[in-house]
Structure 1
Amino acid sequence: MPRSESTVFERHRPDASVVRHALAPTRQAVFWTEDAPGERYPRLQGDVSCDLAVVGGGYTGLWTALLAKQQDPDARVVLLEGRRIGWAASGRNGGFCEASLTHGDENGRTRFPGEFDELQRLGMRNLDEIEGTVAELGLDAGFERNGAFDVATEPHQVEWLRELAGGDDPVFLDAAAMRAAVHSPTYEGGLQRFRDSALVHPAKLARALARACVEAGVEIFENTPVQALGDGITLYTPDGVVRSQRTALGTNVFPSLLKRNRLATVPVYDYVLMTEPLTPQQRASLGWEGRQGIGDSANQFHYYRLTEDDRILFGGYDAVYHYGGRVRERYEDRPETFRRLAAHFFTTFPQLEGVRFSHKWAGAIDTCSRFCAFFGTARAGRVAYATGYTGLGVAATHFGARVMLDLLAGRRTERTELEMVRSRPLPFPPEPAAAIGINLTRWSLDRADHRRGERNAFLRTLDAVGLGFDS
């Protein structure tokens, strides 16, 4: 076992005063949703009947409702959202719209080796369809099909990226080429991907999809939590009942209305900082002319991107599970994580010393044990669900919506025949075993990052039983 080593973020820490200055004006608020307030929709009052009820006003629910109306314009489609459209994960994410349906190539090859190539093809087609819909409907979503960089910040990660390069896309970049593209002294190498990644403005995408739904005839109700799914397909809300022929569940990280899925996902909190807009001089100091999204190659990885007004979103690294697996607003403010992220930001871009952060926020990721979405039906095929995206669902939710509509219609398609669609992840154990296992995994991943990627016996055991994480 190699000795424990420091990472670049520990070897080149900024002065504590730099971090304090940067965080001094930061507000606990989601930049995206403030930047795209959107329309308000009524609360459900009374009873309604419909052909399709969609539960959840995030990307999964919105895509499902929109696609359902496109497939059958005469169908009555009702969408129920417990709070506001896009307020949770769909309005808080980094806006990375990735073609991968399996949370990265390695995860896909390991879990679905017999159909990995098919999943890659379907994932790229899925991203193409999203791009086509944005253009066709004129959705104001900040969509940029600009590719991405995967970067190595430690020497041992360079070979990992070199092995993934293939032909013209993706292309391996050595340290000099990577630093020429984006000016960070942390880069030891990189992988440039040209077609399998885009960026969006998360809240604008959610608001635009909601407007498209309404224009297509979908009825949207906000502040209408579904409290129970009764016998048959009856959805009970505080002030009304919805009776539907079919129901699609897009409840993401929140407790499932189906008992079978209660232990299938857990909420893991992810944290984000957003800078103030950069000055022209600060922006020029970065290079980064292609505006690609960037993610590093550690187990505890960072992701970052530019916004339309030249802010930098910088997030990731800490992934925090709270005992009991509950979603709570108080978990969103974690000062030690924001200090750590700010320090890592200035290690990455020391030339930006003096920049301040305007916003900080967090959100809960619907994590499942196979680290990519799973699907299924209940109630004799009249209820379908898609969940467990594990932080890479901006594009995959569109695929999940298509899968649910296929399942509800009883259609055999290339999607429904996939092992990925027909299989389920192993459930998480109840507490205290869940907290012990999740936190031990996180500690082990951090240890691997400090030991040149060497995975300990615990991680190797998880790998052997199909529970290992390597995106």
Structure 2
Amino acid sequence: MSELRPTGFPLWWEGYAAPSPAAVPPAEALPSQADVVIVGGGFTGLWTAYYLLRDAAHLSVLVLEAEHVGFGASGRNGGWVSALFPLGADALAARHGASPTRALLSELRHTVDEVGDVIAAEGICEAGYAKGGTLCLARNAAQVARAKADVAAGAVWDTGTLWLSSPEATERLAATQILGGTWNPHCARIQPRALVEGLAAAVRARGGRIAEGARVASAAPGVVTLSDGTRIRAGHVIRATEAYTAGLAGLRPRLAPVYSLMVATEPLPHSTWAEIGLAQREVFSDYRHVIVYGQRTLDDRLAFGGRGAPYHWGSAIRPGFDQDATVFALLRAALRELLPQLGDVTFTHAWGGPLGIPRDWHPSVGYDASARVGWAGGYVGDGVAATNLAGRTLADLVTNRRSPLTALPWVNHRSPSWEPEPLRWLGVNAGLRLAALADAEEARTGRPARLARLLSALIGH
């Protein structure tokens, strides 16, 4: 079959919002004040509102979203509810100590189940939560070395990562060139936009207000100002803007927006799935340097994504950047090479969007009690579960409730700012290029790439 022309419309949005929603003013007049004003209607903002309203129902909570809920990464991502943290445990321990690192990793593992519990409690069955774990394949000798290092680190830090032999990995996913792999139980598959919509409904049911089409120009202590000049007084202000943080006044150096793109197939017949695997709805990846990720969707498609799209000068975010024909072609080719059982299957969707990367690859959640301003983000693509943990933590911080969450080492962590242009543009795109070159070197030699050392030096971990 011939492949359909990419539309830029995410698979996850089918049945929800229009492909190019217009940021029109809210239909109803906005309140002039609220106890908590949250900027951003993605996972971070909605989880924060949910837990505030659940645990402090007397608070008035207003969520402001420039487009529609889930317009950003929350409605475009790969749908992994994982316990992954972008910075490795050894690096975390070097900064914060072993015991705080163990506490954070343990809470992330618990968070995977917490998300599932909320989905069940709120009846968000459309989210398709299935805890099948993460399968990561090793397809050359260099990848085997990284996989076994991952298993060794997992034994030290109790992450639950297990080594799979070639037959064991192939039984889960019948891909080509499998030399082995790893499996970690602490991950679930979801339909991300369905979870966003379910959370938004739960927030509204508890009395929270969500204003879509409310574009924020600045978020300062005590006041949030919209692009049309409307000012809303706020007892507490929460920034939950992830990659879009760069568009808020004075915050451009905080996070670099880097694009990740995805493609999806038509629904596959049961006979094809019998050949491919993923019977437990495992999400999957491999140990290449250019990150790829996939899942078997609720309607039996393959959704597959990866990095590789360029960073744009000045941390620019534009709708046209969601489309990169070269990267889409590479993703389709990579998936066909991985799973030749797909044959001439049609690819029906291709889309993308930005994610937020802090300079040190260290996500954070924080709250300035004197200014009554909180924030969370910088998840580097590992945010579907981490946003839940951030929302619970922000709820505790706003209500001045000391808890084990508020003592976790990512709380009030301050990442350094990104370098000014042109250094930022050169550095981020050099890192993307080095990752691709390192993969090519390893495919050719079978040995760990020398270029990988340059990549680690460039990104700082």
Q: TM-score, normalised by structure 2?
A: 0.89
Aligned position for 1:60: 44
Residues 34 and 106 (structure 1 numbering): CA distance in 2 closer, same or farther, change over 3 Å? farther
Give the deviation of 1:175 after TM superposition.
Answer: 1.4
8 Å Cα contact 1:23/1:356 also seen in 2: yes
Secondary structure class of the residue paired with 2:410: helix
8 Å Cα contact 2:309/2:324 also seen in 1: no
Give the deviation of 1:107 after TM superposition.
Answer: 5.6
Matching residue within 12, 22, 25 for 1:32:
12
Secondary structure class of the residue paired with 1:324: helix
Among the aligned pairs, what percent are the same residue? 28
Q: Map Cα deviations across residues 374-402 of structure 1 (whole Å, 9 max, x no partner).
A: 23334823110111111110010011112
Give the deviation of 1:460 after TM superposition.
Answer: 4.9
Aligned position for 2:21: none
Matching residue within 151, 176, 180 for 1:185:
176
Aligned position for 1:453: 448
1:293 corresponds to 2:283: yes
Residues 351 and 142 (structure 1 numbering): CA distance in 2 closer, same or farther, change over 3 Å? same
Distance, in Å, in 2 between the alignment partners of 1:388 and 1:400 is 11
Give the aligned residue type for 1:300: V
Residues 333 and 67 (structure 1 numbering): CA distance in 2 closer, same or farther, change over 3 Å? same
Give the deviation of 1:63 after TM superposition.
Answer: 0.5
Secondary structure class of the residue paired with 1:27: coil
8 Å Cα contact 1:23/1:342 also seen in 2: no
Aligned position for 1:263: 253
Distance, in Å, in 2 between the alignment partners of 1:351 and 1:109 is 43
Aligned pairs for 1:283-432 within 5 A:
283-378=273-368, 380-432=370-422
Q: Runs of 4 or more off by more than 6 Å in structure 1?
A: none
RMSD: 2.5
Aligned position for 1:148: 134
8 Å Cα contact 1:103/1:392 also seen in 2: no
8 Å Cα contact 2:221/2:237 also seen in 1: no
Distance, in Å, in 2 between the alignment partners of 1:236 and 1:317 is 32
Residues 46 and 356 (structure 1 numbering): CA distance in 2 closer, same or farther, change over 3 Å? closer
Give the deviation of 1:171 after TM superposition.
Answer: 2.3
1:116 corresponds to 2:76: no
Aligned pairs for 1:77-156 within 5 A:
77-102=61-86, 105=89, 108-109=92-93, 112-114=96-98, 115-140=100-125, 141-156=127-142
Aligned position for 1:434: 424
Aligned position for 1:208: 198
Give the deviation of 1:367 after TM superposition.
Answer: 1.0
Residues 334 and 45 (structure 1 numbering): CA distance in 2 closer, same or farther, change over 3 Å? same
Distance, in Å, in 2 between the alignment partners of 1:234 and 1:332 is 28
Gaps spanning 5+ residues in structure 1: where?
1-20
Give the aligned residue type for 2:449: E
Residues 156 and 113 (structure 1 numbering): CA distance in 2 closer, same or farther, change over 3 Å? farther
Distance, in Å, in 2 between the alignment partners of 1:228 and 1:212 is 27
8 Å Cα contact 2:33/2:233 also seen in 1: yes
Matching residue within 145, 161, 165 for 2:147:
161
Secondary structure class of the residue paired with 2:244: coil
Distance, in Å, in 2 between the alignment partners of 1:371 and 1:461 is 13
Residues 52 and 113 (structure 1 numbering): CA distance in 2 closer, same or farther, change over 3 Å? same
Secondary structure class of the residue paired with 1:422: coil
Aligned length: 443
Give the deviation of 1:319 after TM superposition.
Answer: 4.1
Residues 381 and 409 (structure 1 numbering): CA distance in 2 closer, same or farther, change over 3 Å? farther
Give the deviation of 1:235 after TM superposition.
Answer: 3.4
